[in-house]
A and B are shown apart, each in its own frame.
Chain A
């Protein structure tokens, strides 16, 4: 059975090993059954080409790893003294860029503790962004703990903690000392820390379930930017500015306390009700202190910028859902949502140039978003093999904005308010004409009267359909998803078309052989009217055009040789053939940004040899080939793999 399941697995990164070892009976220790597996080995990577891009995309490097471990302990009678179940899984420990651990300890109906821990080593040179000067080599560590008292009972309590730390070196850029100056890269020591504490409970009474949670999120960023040596200007044509040294501190601290309350019932067989209310207060205090020493147009220039203030964002949301089931064949659902966000902040900016205070500017900003949405869905099972559904959704969103600036007594204020309404309809059906064949289709058509952005949805429709035919050892499916949006008004146009087509199948004629393959075509084209300046002359009637045609394919075959050797070979290929976009513009910069053809191919092979009932030897190899068609600056080829031993006991 296992191989039947494995045949359908997505192509895995070449570790940890998925092949099972022996019969997973486990060992009996006292009243507990214990199963463990432990896979360790050496991972290797050899990169030819742009190593930075490889690390951005893949990032597996050389070294010894604990590729994967698993431990399950179950009480055989469900009456363990201190616990009934322990589940522990880890992946990639020992310096892999993607490390993961999860654990659950539970005593039936007494307590449950759950842990998730993750580490991501994020390396990104971002060569095509900001002249490649926004490099990041960061490490993100995330953890989540949740302890539940009396799980599964009528009254439960829980408490939890989540942490998210990000740290490491990065580069950023700054424009000095004025708009005619130059741009200089500088170093950043990124330090961000988020902690969330929460507790709450759940109670069942009179057929209702009440859930409540109180929590506090604390966030602080103490990133420091610096440049201890003369700066290297990015624009060689601008020679009027030099930078001797630079320092930036901008501590940014605050908290977001929140409430969540949820009331739910499914006690009656013919209706369900779900009501939810959430409120959170977000508050951040900050100080910004930046010092830049250098020269501009032949004169020494020392600029210190001091900014202080705070920002606030209270968010309130409420939802109410009714589902009515008058007969077993009909479901009517209505959902009303209210959402309100108020963002406001004050900042005072003081700038000293060559030791003299030359400006003090106070800012107040407000942005408020209020949205009300109501949707109704009707689902009818006309026959056991045919169901239809239809729905209607109405949304109203109002945005208010205030921008206030006080520059040494000169006050500038801008206010705005506008609202946007959406009317949308949905429809779909499900059909099972013969045994094993399922056809599902759904669509949505919507009209908004006043979208806020040029690329927002206005007159749009989306359609999707999927057909699947499944027999015991054979499965084939085809799917399409399309969405089209037009947001054109007088003297402006925007259109976007996305079309996805996929087909895939799998065949498992025996427990020793399985094959699966698929092909996906993802098409996107957008045309948006743009305006810009060319040498101080405004150009109004140009267009930004983007075209992407991704042909993606994957295939995998798995077989067992002589009952001992599992062999898996597979590949995935992504090719953006783009296409021709000539005709929408004559501006070279825009022409160069219309398409981005590239190929990303990754074949792999895995061998897993069963040495005995408890031991497997494994080898995996995966090749990556990234090839851009235009610039080829980021191209790379990488040979990665691992050699490992998997021990189950």
Chain B
């Protein structure tokens, strides 16, 4: 090795010990940043401590170690009022002294929906998935945290849902329940997927593939697109020849999302009617604003093969090798 190369070595090939030291220093800085000042401190005025709750609420207390909120009880870095029962229910001393008077404590069953939201969001703004909760359709309809989550009697250990997710959603969205009971459907009832695979119940950004406020609460895909593309990745593209309808008005131009009576979740029982409803040359629609291309004169509607458009236009979601999606 020449002396010149030795001089360049630290820049070209930083040694592993050097990198490891830097990594450890970085993690230590993060740990210090995460450290919080107050250690154990005496109860603030009005607070009694979670141990006092056990006397009257033994069933809740006994199983609380399985609850996701239990971690606050054992975290020595949290302030007293951020720990255990009183972190959500507020100071409990007056409640105890009044022998369980619900008006002397934060009782979620007695609270206005917005107060419940405020209370939970004190901690639960951590995840960015909840960044739009204030303007979500659920919030504006007074469907707040405790309508879906049951902290002490949850049916699911994850997310502490009051019931399995599908049943929770069906509770209000009965028309969607009917769609998932149809013969052709996404496999939600079968347990393969959940509503939250496509929807964000805590509110979403504005839909971008359509212009209006609907559909609501969609959990967008990688390219800010419809959630359909999260699983149906082969339909995402990009393609040289995009079927513009997929990108402009979305998958719902031709398909229903939840369930339906027609094959492949199509909006019509016969494919050709679906195609002809756009490809009719009418008005100032389409890419060039002069109507969407009409079928050619050779395509006589009396011929069965022209009633099966996708038999030739097999690459209907997008193609790289044919402008009319033939291959």
Contact = CB atoms under 8 A, between A and B. Distances in A.
Given A78-B73, A264-B128, A401-B287, A164 B263 contact: no
A143 interface: no
A535 B262 contact: no
B214 A444 contact: yes
Interface in B248-293: 248-249, 253, 261-264, 266-273, 276-278, 280-289, 292
A632 interface: no
A387 B206 contact: no
B74 interface: yes
A8 B167 contact: yes
B249 A452 contact: yes
Interface string B217-247: 0000011110000010110111111101101
Contact of A373 (B206, B241, B268, B320): B206
Q: Give the secondary structure class of B's interface.
A: loop
B108 interface: no
A87 B154 CA distance: 14
Nearest to A235: B305
A192 B234 contact: yes
B312 A492 contact: no
Interface in B272-323: 272-273, 276-278, 280-289, 292, 294-302, 304-305, 307-308, 310-312, 314, 320-321, 323
Interface in B133-168: 134-135, 140-142, 153, 155, 157-158, 162-164, 166-167
A520 B170 contact: no
Contacts of A128: 262-263, 269-270
Interface stretch (B37-45, B86-94, B179-187): B179-187
A108 B71 contact: yes
A221 B315 CA distance: 14
B297 to A, nearest CB: 5
A256 B178 contact: no
Contact of B125 (A266, A377, A529): A266
A595 B65 CA distance: 57
Contact of B74 (A78, A395, A455): A78
Contact of B231 (A1, A164, A492, A552): A164
Interface in B12-36: 30-31, 33-34
Interface stretch (A313-321, A559-567, A606-614): A313-321
A304 interface: no
Contact of B237 (A154, A284, A481): A284
A533 B174 contact: no
A254 B236 CA distance: 12
Interface in A305-324: 305, 307, 309, 311-313, 315, 317, 319, 321, 323
Residue with the highest number of chain A CB atoms closer than 10 Å, among B114, B187, B208, B271: B208
Contacts of A371: 208, 211
B233 A420 contact: no
A572 B223 contact: no
A499 B142 CA distance: 24
A328 B114 contact: yes
Contacts of B115: 328
B174 to A, nearest CB: 4
A202 B163 CA distance: 30
Interface residues of B, number: 128
Contacts of A440: 141-142
B75 interface: yes
Contact of A13 (B167, B189, B300, B326): B189
Interface stretch (A39-47, A507-515, A586-594, A641-649): A586-594
B171 interface: yes
A333 interface: yes
Interface in A108-155: 108-109, 118, 120, 124, 126-131, 133-134, 140, 142, 150, 152-155
Nearest to B143: A440
B63 to A, nearest CB: 9
Given A399-B248, A454-B278, A572-B181, A12 B189 contact: yes
B327 interface: yes
Interface string A213-241: 00101010100000000000011000000
Contact of B121 (A129, A266, A546, A552): A266
A562 B207 CA distance: 53
Contacts of A538: 294, 297
Contacts of A234: 305, 311
Given A347-B321, A365-B242, A381-B114, A530 B276 contact: yes
A347 B285 contact: no
A98 B194 CA distance: 12
Given A74-B65, A311-B238, A328-B114, A345 B320 contact: yes
Contacts of A536: 297-298, 300
Given A134-B314, A420-B211, A600-B182, A129 B296 contact: no
A128 to B, nearest CB: 5
Interface in A326-353: 328, 331, 333, 335, 337, 339, 341, 343, 345-347, 349
Given A313-B237, A371-B211, A552-B181, A544 B126 contact: no
A305 B320 CA distance: 13
Contact of B171 (A8, A91, A179): A8
B264 A520 contact: no
Given A155-B34, A418-B289, A130 B311 contact: yes
B177 A518 contact: yes
A95 interface: no
Contact of A5 (B155, B276, B287, B294): B155
A356 B312 CA distance: 25
A387 B131 contact: no
B62 to A, nearest CB: 9
Nearest to A552: B178
Contacts of A325: 134
B276 A532 contact: yes
Contact of A155 (B33, B189, B212, B222): B33
A183 B313 CA distance: 11
A76 B67 CA distance: 11
Contact of A533 (B126, B131, B296): B296
B252 to A, nearest CB: 10
A87 B126 CA distance: 22
A522 B224 contact: no
B66 A367 contact: no
Contacts of A280: 222-224
Contacts of A428: 140-141
A142 B134 CA distance: 32
A360 interface: no
Nearest to A441: B141
A56 interface: yes
Nearest to A309: B240
Contacts of A535: 300, 302
Interface string A457-486: 100101000101000000001010100000
A410 interface: no
Interface in A175-199: 175, 179-180, 183, 192, 194, 196
Nearest to A126: B263
Contacts of B193: 118
11 contacts: A130-B271, A150-B34, A174-B314, A264-B125, A311-B239, A312-B238, A367-B247, A399-B248, A414-B288, A522-B178, A589-B307
Interface of B: 30-31, 33-34, 65-66, 70-71, 73-75, 112, 114-115, 121, 125-126, 128, 131-132, 134-135, 140-142, 153, 155, 157-158, 162-164, 166-167, 170-172, 174-175, 177-179, 181-184, 187, 189-193, 205-206, 208, 210-214, 222-225, 231, 233-234, 236-242, 244-245, 247-249, 253, 261-264, 266-273, 276-278, 280-289, 292, 294-302, 304-305, 307-308, 310-312, 314, 320-321, 323, 326-327
Given A309-B320, A428-B140, 7 more contacts: A9-B167, A128-B270, A313-B237, A333-B135, A345-B241, A520-B178, A530-B276
Closest 7 CB pairs of A and B: A345-B240, A78-B74, A313-B238, A416-B288, A596-B269, A552-B178, A333-B135
